[in-house]
Structure 1
């Protein structure tokens, strides 16, 4: 048996023709994959951004309720280790640099073998003492290391994401005749900075002649003109199209070798990306709008069963681990709280009543597929709020632990492994967005059927009460730390245990 997880970073579903027929983006290979296979229409993240999302995928649990960005924990029961215990060979090829920075520990190292294609974002790859020239003037971010890295790839096939898909094709060729394996192919593109060869940019011409701009800052839009934002969307679209081309090359390799028809193949993303919607760019600091959390999910079953089918049931990325395990006929560990997607496919049977999602220490958000509700912290200092973990790292740094801020003990309900319980501080935690929690101080309620772009917040106390009950039900189901109810001001939520 063979299975593949193709994870594409920062994939905004509104840019994909298979989800938005009005999209002008060329993504023919993802479109064809959708037409030939199963498309899930109501699929959501649980935790965001990058590493929290991956911990969700690998553990079948929701990360953001108990900790921020960080490595795999030593007590985590993971998809990869479970597969290995049952004789399934595992391999990952990726150009995602955060795996190899502080805060990305223990992810790739779980696999039997792994391959890292260098050069994305700030990957410390090309080494120059002097540094690089920074384009001036510019909007958003420009990173010296990234400018150096770009010197190393001048042809399309030399770019990191094309190299990632090429390495995946090479792995298939090197393992002809092999069986019982799981392969993860992970493309960093179209994650920012949006960088690709000119032939793809020519597909999205514009007349923009302003400051250099292919990497938005993590803040509300300010100086960027409408023309600049249209240019940024074109840069994103071009990078997406380049990724799609090489995705298609890999899928064709699977077809040419006969592997496609006999494999489970799941294609999804970790989260979306804002490109001017609601006056924002990037991610992480704004409300959890659909552009960020409502993500693509495409599934190929062996023999192309149910080709062209669309699934409306509400699903999340925590459901991927039990899906792969059921496919390999492996019992799902008790720690896993996601559910296999395989039983829902034949008849699109109801799957879950609600899904919660968000960023650690910010609003906790819930959807039932018809409405979304963003529940904000009630106190100015966002307390009580604690980070739990044995890996004291977060994005590019170690935890900033002050005296009196921490305890150690067996605080998590699903493991006896001792962890730190550390008071979470807003100040200094969001270096890219000094506004911290400023944009998530308000509870927001939307009807996403009549208002899919979430432009018209509702004021409906009865409906809000219903969504609070669903939020509380999900918090109980996913074993949220007890202080979450107090932090969100819902201590009186009925049925709390």
Structure 2
């Protein structure tokens, strides 16, 4: 048995023709792969953003119910470690630099081996003290000096960009291990995450002419650029999606060349979406988890070709990856895993999951059954709020730095005897650096997804809202959310 998980960061489903036939974005390799796969129409995130989503994938549990951005904990039971007990080899190839920053500890160490392609975002890689060769004087959005330094090492040389290098690394690994069995390969690219840096030949597909200031990384918040720049950044994203698709195609070609395509389970998904001017907003994290963020693509190719070219409306999310992979290898899923395997879907058997719960720690909690989506807003009076962490790191800093005397320690999590830090939180950690953004999540919202799939018109119906509020409370109990 072989399984490959391909994770493309920030990949929006509505930019893919399999989900949106009217899109102008070219993804011929994903389109062809969908013909060999089961396409999931109701697949959702779990925890956001990047590292919380990866802990979901790695542990089959919802990270955001206990903490925000953070590492693999010493008490976590992870997918690669369970596979290792079954003598299944695991390998990760990635360009995701957050694994190597404060708050990303322990993830790569779960794998038997791993490979890292450097240079994405603000990766402190190209070590120059001078200013980078090209620092535009005029620009929209954000400009990272370190990223401008890194791009000197690949500018306009497509094969040297991080995403092509990551897929090439995966192809090399497959060539080296041609014909082997019992492995789990995770191929993870940061694209099409911002900065939307892409060779000009891909931009030429979508927009050859642009005379405005340099722009490839929006500032999170309300759209703050002219209309032509807003259109341009969407085109840059589209171009990056197309480049990512090209190199995904090379991975598929290598699998076919090594005769490992047909009988390998291949899962392709993302971690979350992104606002590209939708609802007059840029970015993610600070607003409600509308489907632009929460409804993500999922294609699963069965190793025996079952349900190829078909679709399912089963409600799924990324915490289901771990039990699905373990199921395929014949391994027992640990009791603490909260996800549910997708294997019954391929056998037309009932599956014990009807809701997806998702959100961000300290911001919102959301639930959907594919018919309605309910967004429960935070409330300033809802105190206390805590993060529970065995390792108290978060994105680029430490939890509780402002008031360490208020931190408690104890055995607060039912599933482990490990003592953890119980850190009081007044503001969500992933909102650090942003102004007061509470306006964007001040109201709880209910949407009828059948009548209003674009989530434009909130439903005002106290009876239905009460029903989904009850569903939400029930799921929070089932998923062992801390009592507060």
Q: In the alignment, which residue of structure 2 is the partner of 1:449?
A: 450
- The runs of 5 or more residues in structure 1 that have no matched partner are 484-497
Instruction: Indicate conservation of the 8 Å contact 1:306/1:346, yes or no.
Output: no
Say yes or no: does 1:29 pair with 2:29.
Answer: yes
How far apart, CA to CA, are the structure 1 residues paired with 2:292 and 2:150? 29
SS in 2 for 1:224: coil
Query: How much has 1:355 moved relative to structure 2?
Result: 1.2
> Which string of whole-angstrom CA distances, capped at 9 and with x for unpartnered residues, describes residues 201-231 of structure 1?
111016432221110112222x312211110
Residue deviations 1:137-171 (CA, integer Å, cap 9, x gap)? 21111100000111000311110000000010000
Shift of the alpha carbon at 1:411?
0.5
User: 1:403 offset after TM fit, Å?
Assistant: 4.1
Matched, 1:303 2:289: no
| Mapped partners of 1:122, 1:403: distance in 2 | 29
CA shift in 2, pair 1:340/1:229, >3 Å? same
Distance change >3 Å, CA 427–CA 59, structure 1 → 2: closer
Q: Is the 8 A contact 1:314 1:351 kept in 2?
A: no
**One of 213, 218, 221 as aligned partner of 1:219:** 221
In the TM superposition, what are the counterparts of 1:485-496 in structure 2 within 5 Å? none
Q: How many residues align?
A: 481
For residues 336 and 53 of structure 1, what CA distance do their matches in structure 2 show? Answer: 15
Which deviations, in whole Å up to 9, do the C-alpha atoms of 1:60-92 show, x marking residues without a partner? 100001101000000001101101111111100
SS at match of 1:5: strand
Alignment CA distance shift 1:428-1:170 (3 Å)? closer
Q: What's the counterpart of residue 281 of structure 1? A: 282
Q: Tell me if the contact between 1:72 and 1:104 (Cα under 8 Å) persists in the aligned partners.
A: yes
Identify unmatched segments of 5+ residues in structure 2: none
Contact 1:72 1:107 in 2 (8 A): yes
**Mean CA deviation greater in 450-459 or 36-45:** 450-459
TM-score of the aligned structures, taking structure 1 as reference length: 0.94
Contact 2:390/2:419 (CA < 8 Å) preserved in 1?
Answer: yes
Does the Cα contact within 8 Å between 2:354 and 2:369 map onto a contact in 1? yes
Aligned position for 1:244: 245
Aligned counterparts of 1:318 and 1:476: Cα–Cα separation in 2: 17
Aligned to 1:260: 261
Match in the other structure for 2:91: 91
Are positions 1:340 and 2:348 aligned together?
no
| TM-score, normalised with respect to structure 2 | 0.97
Q: CA deviation at 1:404?
A: 3.8
Q: Which residue of 2 aligns with 1:460?
A: 461
Distance 1:281 1:82 in 2: 39
Query: Who is 1:168 aligned against?
Result: 170
2: CA distance between counterparts of 1:397 and 1:420?
A: 15
Give matches, 1:11-410, under 5 Å. Answer: 11-132=11-132, 133-154=134-155, 155-205=157-207, 207-221=209-223, 223-347=224-348, 349=350, 351-379=352-380, 382-401=382-401, 402-410=403-411
Relative to 1, partners in 2 of residues 1:246 and 1:429: Cα closer, same or farther, differing over 3 Å?
A: closer
Q: Partners of 1:347 and 1:220 in 2: how far apart? A: 45
> Which aligned runs of 4 or more in structure 1 are off by greater than 4 angstroms?
348-351
Q: Secondary structure at the match of 1:326?
A: helix
Q: 1:260 to 1:194 in 2, by over 3 A?
A: same
Q: Is the 8 A contact 1:131 1:145 kept in 2?
A: no
